[in-house]
A = this chain, B = another copy of it.
Amino acid sequence: MSTILIVDDEQPIRSMVGFALGRAGFELREAADAEQAYAEIDRQRPELILMDWMLPGASGLDIVRRLQRNAETQDIPVIMLTARTEESDKINGFSAGVDDYISKPFSPAELIARIQAVLRRSRNTQPAESLEFAGLALDPLSHRVTANGVELEFGPTEFRLLKFFMQHPDRVYTREQLLDNAWGRNVYVEERTVDVHILRLRKALAPHGCDHYIQTVRGAGYRFSPTA
């Protein structure tokens, strides 16, 4: 049973969504503003957040950005609820970590379909279990990496990159694929940037003898393989 949090100041919307989700077998919790949202998330981590675009006080995007900065809440998928009248707002939702958008008004069927699509995607890429290979451990939930018991510090990008590698070990990925998976599909950065982050990962891993876990495959890309 998935727990879903809706953050919207309009009570009718919350009711409608609650009704639709209830029929589809989701458990819904509600928040009317940013403060309640933080409180609810803190009380129990939801599996997905439906975030209204306009809220009294803070915009939904502000909340998403703040969630992104927090290691505990960073990987909760978010679906934005937007209204047509706000199209002129300049936003950068996808790069902030928003997984999908739904325009109001929406049908219950569309809502359910999108929620399930996002959940399916995020479950594939976010196993809640800790990943460990030969002394190198990464825990997606606590957002922590340890090598032989010693905690390592990584920036968000390097963390995502290492997480992706550890989720798909022993397989070569091109720079482009790594950009798609650790950066996002809709960002345009130079492929060589991947090299730099690989370097930074290796540098951080080197003191613990784990730098060779990431191998260069000339002409193809990079591979995470702790056994080699």
Chain A contact residues, CB within 8 Å of chain B? 80, 82, 85-95, 100-103, 110, 113-114, 117, 120, 141-143, 151, 155-156, 159, 170-172, 176, 180, 185-186, 188, 217-220, 223, 225, 228
Contacts and interface: CB of A to CB of B under 8 A. Distances in A.
Contacts of A141: 170-172
Contacts of A86: 87-88, 90
Given A80-B91, A101-B186, A142-B172, 16 more contacts: A82-B88, A85-B92, A87-B88, A88-B90, A90-B186, A91-B93, A94-B101, A95-B102, A100-B185, A114-B188, A120-B176, A142-B225, A155-B218, A156-B218, A156-B219, A156-B220
A217 B172 contact: no
21 contacts: A85-B90, A86-B87, A86-B88, A87-B89, A87-B91, A88-B88, A88-B89, A90-B94, A91-B103, A94-B100, A100-B185, A100-B186, A101-B186, A113-B188, A114-B188, A117-B180, A120-B176, A142-B223, A151-B228, A155-B219, A156-B220
